[in-house]
Amino acid sequence: MKISDILIGIRQKDPVAIAKAISMVENRKKDYTRLLEKIYPLPGRAFKIGITGSPGSGKSSLIDRMINGLKTRGFNIAVLAVDPSSPITGGALLGDRLRMIQHSNDANVFIRSIANRGHLGGLSLSTHEIIDLLQAAGKEIIIIETVGVGQSEVDIVNVADVVLYVLNPGSGDEIQIFKAGIIEIADIFVVNKADLGGSDLKISEIKNYFSLAAKNPLIFPTSAREDQGIEELLSALFKFREEEKGRIEEKTAAVKKNYVEKIVADRLKTEIEQNPSIRAIWRDSADANPFQLAESIYRIIQTGGSHDKKD
Amino acid sequence: MKISDILIGIRQKDPVAIAKAISMVENRKKDYTRLLEKIYPLPGRAFKIGITGSPGSGKSSLIDRMINGLKTRGFNIAVLAVDPSSPITGGALLGDRLRMIQHSNDANVFIRSIANRGHLGGLSLSTHEIIDLLQAAGKEIIIIETVGVGQSEVDIVNVADVVLYVLNPGSGDEIQIFKAGIIEIADIFVVNKADLGGSDLKISEIKNYFSLAAKNPLIFPTSAREDQGIEELLSALFKFREEEKGRIEEKTAAVKKNYVEKIVADRLKTEIEQNPSIRAIWRDSADANPFQLAESIYRIIQTGGSHDKKD
């Protein structure tokens, strides 16, 4: 499939073209930047919902129910499940996604697992790029799911407009919430599996914790199994989007700025690695004072050190 | 205390001066770079031992016992406990350190908790700088402890020569090990609390897991409470240091390179944020194609965009 054909497919919201484009970007295939450069300006801005929480908290089932409610509202939806890439369990976690398979024949619901390739540093550049691809393909709602094992759920905040943290009655998630900094990134807490009982207790526990930080979190009990509380949660999400419009716009701008800066930083890193004068510094003075080394490298960059290569 | 006095104190291995210097660096106090620039070249290279594992696995008690064995060997030791900075539990975790207080009057054992300030992105620049301060103060062994909640333990690998992962018989840590990428960073596994029984089972479980990845990990059972297995562990550490000398040197060089690149990147980030031409780009064309934005910013940097400010 040629890039021009993929681009036409994306504009026509063709799932095959979208899938192809995501694979190109995810695997850094030749010409993927040529593809990316051509998807701008984006036709619209999707509502990006980040969902995180411990394994087993029922995120996928919850998303499944949310998709039903969002379809009823007429939205064009995408789900991006970001898996930590481990050589061993990498594939196993994808099993969860099977629960969402009932939507897989629906042209308006695009579901995709991506590996968290920057696995030593949270979400990678490509996550941001894939979200832009989905927006280019007219997706109006993008749900981004991560397994709650640390940095990934913190990085979600960098791409999502609203962040849900899913936990269960009887879980000991509070420790995780506080240690991993979830308290600072989650906008809405969902006590899922409320049908098991004990969700009131869990809600008041969370409130107590938050009162220590003088915060008053939004908390919703749901039961994905019994399809309870989903409508209330969806309404709360759209209310949040409306009420926090200004803050979301600021965040979107900051996310984009961050993305652009990462592109610049990536290019500079390549430059630094390939520049012959900088390579000579590493070869000859690796034992020197790091501040002096940094100063020398900085000078070379600023005086157009790459001049001898191209331009 | 003046910087020149702090520097003299560091060279004389004075714990008060070391503590003062660490505070300056940790809190980015005025002139901290002036202090740092003057500690090079370092008088020697410490053996840096990273220790991570779930809360409650007994890391601090284990370190306490290890210190005893290292003192007997005549080493000048430092322990750096890196706490995730959470507004609420930040202080609470420090309680663990109290267990090591028996060494606190020993001039050859320096113990310090530091907050993981870059808490949304693992270990910060300052961790590297504090390790260099400790090396400047003649520390021969530096133990770096982190609570295993995600990215921090992965980032330890960037500063330590050897990484220990502490777990217990009967723990369900395997999931954490694989999901968080510990398998890729830990050099030695310690099954602590072996006195509880079941450590043989746990060891063979770990071996089984690793055989899936065709790896054969070093695993040692210990009991901090009964002071068992500590000598064997210490011997293994020094053997590792000897046998992996080449690899450790490569890693040290890579760590330094990474540090220098971060200094350069930090400076460039400041430059990008303050440069009037780049600010104008953000103001006027925030909606533009991110690749075009990156290209424009890159050009400004490479043509000495900061020229109008200083120089």
Catalogue all structural domains in chain B, each as residue range(s) with its CATH number: 42-243 (3.40.50.300), 256-308 (no CATH)
pLDDT tens track for B74-87 = 999 999 887 655 43
Q: Provide the token pair at B115.
A: 């907050």
Contacts of A253 (CB under 8 A, 6+ apart): B286
Residue B1 has pLDDT above 90, yes or no: no
> How many Cβ atoms sit within 10 Å of the Cβ of residue B137?
25
Instruction: Write the secondary structure of B84-127 as one string of H (helix), E (strand) and C (coil).
Output: ECCCCCCCHHHHHHHHHHHHCCCCCEEEEEEEECCCCCCCCHHH
**A259, A247 in Cβ contact below 8 A?**
no
- Nearest-neighbour CA in chain B from A69: distance (Å): 32
Kind and range of the H or E run holding A115: strand A109-116
Inter-chain touch B209–A88, beta carbons under 8 Å:
yes
Inter-chain touch B268–A301, beta carbons under 8 Å:
yes
Chain B residues whose beta carbon lies within 8 Å of the beta carbon of residue A286: 253, 256-257
For residue B9, which amino acid is it?
Answer: G
pLDDT at residue B92, rounded to an integer: 38
Q: Quick one: average pLDDT of A2-11? A: 94
Contacts of A50 (CB under 8 A, 6+ apart): A144, A145, A146, A153, A156, A157, A159, A160, A162, A163, A164
CA atoms within 13 A on the CB side of A150: 29
* A292: closest chain B residue by CA: B37
Check residues A310 and A204 and name the one with the higher pLDDT. A204
Strand-by-strand arrangement of the B47-53 sheet: B109-116, B77-84, B141-146, B47-53, B162-167, B188-191, B218-221
What residues form DSSP beta bridges with A80? A112, A144
pLDDT tens track for A212-263 = 767 778 999 999 999 999 999 999 999 999 999 999 998 888 888 888 888 8
Residue of A147, A142, A160 lying closest to A116 (CA atoms): A147
Of A132-136, A162-166, B153-157, the poorest mean pLDDT is in B153-157
Task: Write down the ipTM of this complex.
Answer: 0.73
Q: Quick one: average pLDDT of B48-67? A: 89
**A87, B177 in Cβ contact below 8 A?**
no
Chain B residues whose beta carbon lies within 8 Å of the beta carbon of residue A253: 286
Q: Provide the token pair at B109.
A: 């054992």
Inter-chain touch A149–B150, beta carbons under 8 Å:
yes
Inter-chain touch A183–B87, beta carbons under 8 Å:
yes
Instruction: State how far the Cα of A56 lies from the Cα of B274, in Å rounded to an integer.
Output: 46
Chain B residues whose beta carbon lies within 8 Å of the beta carbon of residue A272: 261, 264
**Sign of the alpha-carbon dihedral angle for A124, A127, A128, A129:** positive
- Nearest-neighbour CA in chain A from B151: distance (Å): 5
Inter-chain touch B263–A183, beta carbons under 8 Å:
no
Check residues A49 and B209 and name the one with the higher pLDDT. A49
- DSSP letter at A228 equals B
Instruction: State how far the Cα of A23 lies from the Cα of A32, in Å rounded to an integer.
Output: 9
Of A107-121, B203-217, B260-274, the poorest mean pLDDT is in A107-121
CA angle B190, B192, B197 (to 5 degrees): 120
**B189, B62 in Cβ contact below 8 A?**
no
C-alpha separations of A97 from A47, A82, A110, A227, B24 in Å:
21, 11, 12, 18, 49
Environment class of residue B265 by beta-carbon count within 10 Å: exposed (0-12), middle (13-18) or buried (19+)? middle
Cβ-Cβ pairs closer than 8 A, A with B, add up to: 159
Instruction: State how far the Cα of A210 lies from the Cα of A204, in Å rounded to an integer.
Output: 10
What residues form DSSP beta bridges with A114? A82
Confidence band of A153 (pLDDT split at 50, 70, 90): low
Chain B residues whose beta carbon lies within 8 Å of the beta carbon of residue A213: 87-88
pTM of the model: 0.66
CA angle B46, B225, B202 (to 5 degrees): 85
For residue A254, which amino acid is it?
Answer: A
DSSP-derived pairing of the beta strands A162-167 and A141-146 = unpaired
pLDDT at residue B284, rounded to an integer: 78
Instruction: State how far the Cα of B169 lies from the Cα of B71, in Å rounded to an integer.
Output: 28
